[in-house]
Structure 1
Amino acid sequence: MLSSQLINQIAAGEVIERPASVVKELVENSLDAGAGRIDVTVEAGGAGLIRVRDDGTGIARDDLPLAIARHATSKIASLEDLTRVSSFGFRGEALPSIASVARVELMSRTAEDTRGWRYLVSPGEPPSDPIPVAHPPGTTVSVADLFYSVPARRKFLRTEQTEFGHIQRWIERCALSRFDVAFTLRHNQREVLKMKPARTPSEQEGRLAEILGRRFPEQALQVDCAAGDLRLTGWIGLPALSRRQSDLQFWYVNGRPVRDKLLGHALRIAFRDVLPHGRQPVAVLYLELDPTLVDVNAHPAKLEVRFRDARNVRDFVSQSLYRVLGRARPSGETSRIVGGHDAAGRLELQTPAGKAQAPRAGWGGQIGRSETPSPSQVNESLAFYEAFRAPTEPFPSQPIASENPDWKQGDDSIPPLGEAITHLHGIYILAEAEEGLVIVDAHAAHERIVYEKLKTQVESGEVVSQPLLIPLKVEVSRSEADQVQRSQDLLAELGLEIDLLGPDKLVVRSVPALLSGVDVAELVRDLLSELAHRETATQLQTTLRERLATRACHRAVRAGQRLSRGEMNALLRELEQTERGGQCNHGRPTWVTLDFKALDRFFDRGR
């Protein structure tokens, strides 16, 4: 039989990967103890010393030996408790595992006790009896010489700065899960982080800015969606904040920080229409659900979770975030960029009555149905798109067919994106808004408008099929031919009429009218490939989306095509009503705004 020391060291190999793992376990214990303040001190990247001090409930003298005993936990007592666990720690193996590979000192005092107690544990040595010590209510855990008893593990540690970087990122992750708790972090006698409790929206904005950068609270959308037992809250950054890595994606499930591939995939699906390939969104998101619907005991370090109905969770998250992005609209109340150098416009978040507002959120979006355009706007838009029906024809120089294309909601009312002034170099529309100057990339804006219209037809099942003048024969594999035979109804819903001519040959008789001009053979092969691997309509629509995005780009107004004032205003009004209107299909911003403060700074006015 293995010795208890060796058993603990084996367990430590699963739980204690690096110094950051120790910090994680100790900080989570502090949070479980109801701490309102947590101070973390680190020396030599955590290999020399890790000290975590809190003002929680503390540990009674007689319970100190139990804190180091394996599986001596008070957080669960039955299998039913395990299925509904709500605390961070619950298995009772963290402190014993740490004590098997490092020197541990526990000092603690409960509110009822008049003095604290000190308890020492070292690998291979019998623990001492608790001795009295001066200590405020709460607990201090010091971990010295990590892995000194297993030198082979110590050799796998990275540089001091690398290990400390992991510690800092974990503290930041915890700070975003508990805005009500104060955190400090010191490394080699230097204070690195100092975060006070953040209870008000402005204080939370400050914490978000400190961890994700000052641009995040300025260019973020607030999320608050619910369906059945699921609720999703938090913030998602505008596409302009996207990164190559997913390092600024913070996920929490029932308050527990997690790294979950399913949730990350759902986030990327939500951004599929507004981010180019290879870019990652920035987000801080909190998923709440019935504890019985999620297994938090799926990973030794509790970093991963397993959902009972993974597909339902994925669909809820992706569709909720997709709708939040889609319903972002200019609010008309404020639309400015600080200094005129941000990558996208920033607008106050419009939310339903009774909902809290995100801190100066970016493209604001009502979580309800958008307002219906006025008849004059509809007429303008119809005339505007009529001009683009044949993309090979030159753009008409005459104004669009509308007697009065300007915004006329009220005598003194100015629409959110302003009234057009000129089409600069045939590229940028300059518009006068209530708070400054709006600059719109006409091609990017029209590309988004056209794409959303085409996509709506596909998703609503109202795809118009266009017969080919000469049916196209396509050679395929036998498995692909079989796939066509099994999926003819689904393909017909997408506007594709395909018949079999033989065991390895197809004939395409019609395609979606929206995709006229595409390489039909390539489109068919791509769709069949998706069917072979996924066999879902969702994946087929993803392929169609890519084709639609390309088609929208080709149909959009090109640089150098001059627009009349009426046409420019029609485009602005349509953009204000378009889902995901803040970015084109490639993730570029469609417009920016210079407020009067920014303009005054350019000319040193007021100095």
Structure 2
Amino acid sequence: MPQIRRLPEALVNRIAAGEVVERPSSALKELVENAIDAGATRIEVRLVEGGLDLVEVTDDGCGMTPDEMALALERHATSKLPDEAIEQVATLGFRGEALPSIASVARFTLESRPHGAEQGWRRVVDHGDLVAEGPAALPPGTRVRVEQLFAKVPARRKFLRTARSEYAACLDVVRRLAMARPDVAIALDHGERKILALQGGEGLANRVAQIIARELKDNGVLIDIERHGMRLTGVAGLPTYNRGVADHQYLFVNGRPVKDRLLTGAVRGAYADMLARDRHAVLALFLEIPAEDVDVNVHPAKTEVRFRDAQGVRGFIVSGLRQALATGDRRSAQAPDAAAMGKWQAEPAPALRSIFEGRDWSAPEARVGEAGAPWRGAEGEVLAAPHGRAEEAAPLAAQDRDFPLGIARGQIATTYIVAEAQDGLVLVDQHAAHERLVLERLREAGAGEAAAREQALLIPEVVELDEPACDRLEEAADKLALLGLAMERFGPSAMLVRSLPHALGRTDPEKLLRDIDDDLALNGEALLLGEKLDLVLATMACHGSVRAGRTLRVDEMNALLREMERTPRSGQCNHGRPTWVKLSMEDVEKLFGRH
């Protein structure tokens, strides 16, 4: 039998580095978190070759004495745990492994000077070996340089990606930490280029918009909701402002950037009936929760968390997001698509000539000469027949100026309503808009409860599943019964289904239970059934809404506009597409060269 032995310190550090330092961005995350925990108000990051050649972080934090610097390079030495109450930790880093782990796989230079000290101190560690130390000239704070990462560990070095890929990962780390702390000024240089220069104290909304996209400020709603000791803040993009990938969702727990399946599932649930399946919301959410209700020590890099009441957290985020969106999502995308707008510009002259070539431009004397009649200008020859009806375009009355979506003036292609508002021209997709209105009307009238009423099966159905799945479903049976799904345990590996929700009466019970179990296994809470009911209501709304191709009277158009102004989430249809867009009068005038 092989003899048990203690591993050498250098090998222990390299093993720890394998958990903490996977690539340059991992080292950068630890160093920036240390700077934040040190009370820095300004942090400067410099990268060379995406961090493969150099990662440098300079801060104006509290600094360290020479003795503290030596201790900081030992394993499990930290200033961030004053006692043994690890569940109460409030700092970003606390394991005490980051610096010695990084120093074991790179050339590591640590320089620091406490506030009030006459000079700083410098220590240089080359892949675990102390090679130099002595006085250093630098302002109060700390500077850390990481060079030649994995240079002496070729097995790890060859798994690193290209400089461009490593730079992208480093940029993502800086962005997330910068969003978490809008009070801290953060600068990022890559080679000779200045990438970020964020000023401190600019506020959460401004910081998020600067990092994600400036247009998010005009296409998002602010969130600030408290319940049961939890608080949710941040910025959530309107459903019509979405992306094809989920890379623009930034989630934070107690100021810590995390990538958590429960939180991303909650976001998906909140936007369930407002986004198409292949589109993703753009947002930055900050969850504050009592420290004893969340475990941040489940992953060496501290990017994952575990909640004591996962169901309560998810429910709070879903309801909080929906509540916030209901206050601002009557809005749609704030500007028409730029490519579509470009189609209005500068029609080529040859095309115009081909349209009007050969036309008789002599004035229609008989019509113009009619006494007291307005000029009709041979409209039968020049103008196409209108697709919809419209009243005479009278100026907006005083009482009409308060309508955000204006007054209907006509209909185009029996699909789009044209309305005049005080500040511009509004185009409304009548089918998309009415689809949303019908869905919200069904909910408001209690269709949600009606859909949840149970429909007893004539013969209860036995659904065979594996034992863990049955355990999960049995535990959630009481909650599912409130939604109309009545079932009970039927042996070790089967469930007996006695009733289904009324709206899902024709659903295959086996498929339904398997989907719910998948959701329980993933998120710990049976929200999928509720989302399924929402999808059923959305389908009903689609079939019951005004179809494209139907001619509307002007009073019908105006009634639709007024209901849109009163209805939450009316800025987008059930699939996340905008229901209306507005062209400002300034843009209209630009089209005609008046500006």
Measured against the shorter chain, the TM-score band is 0.7 to 0.9
Equivalent residue number for residue 558 of structure 2: 569
On the 8 A contact 1:454/1:548 being kept in 2, the answer is yes
Alignment-mate amino acid for residue 93 of structure 2 = G
1:194 partner SS: strand
2:267 partner SS: helix
Equivalent residue number for residue 381 of structure 2: none
- Residue 504 of structure 1 and its aligned partner are, at CA, apart by 13
Tell me, in whole angstroms, the C-alpha distance in 1 between the residues paired with 2:94 and 2:287: 21
Equivalent residue number for residue 408 of structure 2: 420
Equivalent residue number for residue 77 of structure 1: 82
Alignment-mate amino acid for residue 436 of structure 1 = G
On the 8 A contact 1:19/1:146 being kept in 2, the answer is yes
In 2 relative to 1, CA 87–541 (structure 1 residues): closer, same or farther, beyond 3 Å? closer
Equivalent residue number for residue 346 of structure 2: none
1:147-158 counterparts in 2 under 5 A?
147-158=150-161
Equivalent residue number for residue 96 of structure 1: 100
Tell me, in whole angstroms, the C-alpha distance in 2 between the residues paired with 1:2 and 1:109: 34
On the 8 A contact 1:337/1:595 being kept in 2, the answer is no
1:131-530 counterparts in 2 under 5 A?
131-200=134-203, 204-205=205-206, 207-328=207-328, 330=330, 337-338=334-335, 341=338, 411=399, 413-457=401-445, 461-462=449-450, 521-522=506-507, 527=512
Tell me, in whole angstroms, the C-alpha distance in 2 between the residues paired with 1:111 and 1:490: 60
Tell me, in whole angstroms, the C-alpha distance in 1 between the residues paired with 2:438 and 2:251: 34
Tell me, in whole angstroms, the C-alpha distance in 2 between the residues paired with 1:229 and 1:324: 18
On the 8 A contact 1:451/1:549 being kept in 2, the answer is yes
Equivalent residue number for residue 378 of structure 1: none
In 2 relative to 1, CA 149–531 (structure 1 residues): closer, same or farther, beyond 3 Å? closer
In 2 relative to 1, CA 234–274 (structure 1 residues): closer, same or farther, beyond 3 Å? same
Tell me, in whole angstroms, the C-alpha distance in 2 between the residues paired with 1:425 and 1:106: 69
On the 8 A contact 1:461/1:494 being kept in 2, the answer is no
2:540 matches 1:555: no
Q: Deviations over 1:447-499 (max 9, x none)?
A: 011112223455652459899xxx9989965659x99xx98997897599xxx
Q: Deviations over 1:350-403 (max 9, x none)?
A: xxxxxxxxxxxxxxxxxxxxxxxxxxxxxxxxxxxxxxxxxxxxxxx999xxxx
Tell me, in whole angstroms, the C-alpha distance in 2 between the residues paired with 1:525 and 1:48: 56
On the 8 A contact 1:106/1:141 being kept in 2, the answer is yes
- Residue 342 of structure 1 and its aligned partner are, at CA, apart by 9.3
On the 8 A contact 2:61/2:140 being kept in 1, the answer is yes
Equivalent residue number for residue 375 of structure 1: none
1:444 partner SS: helix
Tell me, in whole angstroms, the C-alpha distance in 2 between the residues paired with 1:85 and 1:505: 46
Tell me, in whole angstroms, the C-alpha distance in 2 between the residues paired with 1:21 and 1:487: 43
**Equivalences, count:** 522
2:45 matches 1:56: no
On the 8 A contact 1:329/1:577 being kept in 2, the answer is no
Runs of 5+ in structure 2 lacking a partner?
1-5, 342-387, 487-493
2:419 partner SS: strand
Tell me, in whole angstroms, the C-alpha distance in 2 between the residues paired with 1:184 and 1:504: 58
Tell me, in whole angstroms, the C-alpha distance in 2 between the residues paired with 1:472 and 1:65: 72
- Residue 199 of structure 1 and its aligned partner are, at CA, apart by 1.9
- Residue 410 of structure 1 and its aligned partner are, at CA, apart by 6.8
In 2 relative to 1, CA 543–416 (structure 1 residues): closer, same or farther, beyond 3 Å? same
On the 8 A contact 2:407/2:419 being kept in 1, the answer is yes
Q: Deviations over 1:160-193 (max 9, x none)?
A: 1101110011111111111122222222232222
- Residue 328 of structure 1 and its aligned partner are, at CA, apart by 2.7
On the 8 A contact 1:455/1:545 being kept in 2, the answer is no
Alignment-mate amino acid for residue 118 of structure 1 = R
2:591 matches 1:586: no
On the 8 A contact 1:330/1:417 being kept in 2, the answer is no
2:75 matches 1:106: no
Per the normalisation by structure 2, the TM-score is 0.79
Q: Deviations over 1:43-88 (max 9, x none)?
A: 12212111111111111122121121111211113222x1111111
1:45 partner SS: helix
On the 8 A contact 1:343/1:589 being kept in 2, the answer is no
Alignment-mate amino acid for residue 180 of structure 1 = D
On the 8 A contact 1:251/1:259 being kept in 2, the answer is yes
1:327 partner SS: helix
- Residue 125 of structure 1 and its aligned partner are, at CA, apart by 2.6
- Residue 524 of structure 1 and its aligned partner are, at CA, apart by 6.3
Q: Deviations over 1:241-288 (max 9, x none)?
A: 222321111111111111111111111100001011132211111101
Q: Deviations over 1:13-64 (max 9, x none)?
A: 0000100011001111111111111111111221211111111111112212
Tell me, in whole angstroms, the C-alpha distance in 2 between the residues paired with 1:161 and 1:86: 34
1:179 partner SS: coil
Alignment-mate amino acid for residue 143 of structure 2 = T
Alignment-mate amino acid for residue 234 of structure 2 = G
On the 8 A contact 2:244/2:279 being kept in 1, the answer is yes
- Residue 602 of structure 1 and its aligned partner are, at CA, apart by 1.7
Q: Deviations over 1:124-163 (max 9, x none)?
A: 53454x4122111111111111112211111110011101
In 2 relative to 1, CA 586–465 (structure 1 residues): closer, same or farther, beyond 3 Å? same
In 2 relative to 1, CA 525–9 (structure 1 residues): closer, same or farther, beyond 3 Å? closer
- Residue 324 of structure 1 and its aligned partner are, at CA, apart by 1.6
Alignment-mate amino acid for residue 26 of structure 1 = L
Equivalent residue number for residue 11 of structure 1: 16
Tell me, in whole angstroms, the C-alpha distance in 2 between the residues paired with 1:398 and 1:138: 72
On the 8 A contact 1:338/1:598 being kept in 2, the answer is no
In 2 relative to 1, CA 571–342 (structure 1 residues): closer, same or farther, beyond 3 Å? farther
In 2 relative to 1, CA 476–222 (structure 1 residues): closer, same or farther, beyond 3 Å? same
Tell me, in whole angstroms, the C-alpha distance in 1 between the residues paired with 2:454 and 2:74: 73
Identity %: 42
In 2 relative to 1, CA 197–465 (structure 1 residues): closer, same or farther, beyond 3 Å? closer
- Residue 102 of structure 1 and its aligned partner are, at CA, apart by 0.8
Equivalent residue number for residue 391 of structure 1: none
Runs of 5+ in structure 1 lacking a partner?
345-396, 400-405, 497-502
1:41 partner SS: strand
2:29 partner SS: helix
Per the normalisation by structure 1, the TM-score is 0.78
On the 8 A contact 1:336/1:435 being kept in 2, the answer is no
Greater radius of gyration (CA): 2
Equivalent residue number for residue 348 of structure 2: none
- Residue 579 of structure 1 and its aligned partner are, at CA, apart by 2.1
In 2 relative to 1, CA 459–152 (structure 1 residues): closer, same or farther, beyond 3 Å? farther
On the 8 A contact 2:112/2:138 being kept in 1, the answer is yes
- Residue 218 of structure 1 and its aligned partner are, at CA, apart by 1.8
- Residue 532 of structure 1 and its aligned partner are, at CA, apart by 6.9
My pick for the range that moved more, 434-443 or 545-554, is 545-554
Tell me, in whole angstroms, the C-alpha distance in 1 between the residues paired with 2:279 and 2:324: 19
- Residue 569 of structure 1 and its aligned partner are, at CA, apart by 1.2
Tell me, in whole angstroms, the C-alpha distance in 2 between the residues paired with 1:91 and 1:511: 49
2:560 partner SS: helix
Equivalent residue number for residue 25 of structure 2: 20
Tell me, in whole angstroms, the C-alpha distance in 2 between the residues paired with 1:213 and 1:193: 13
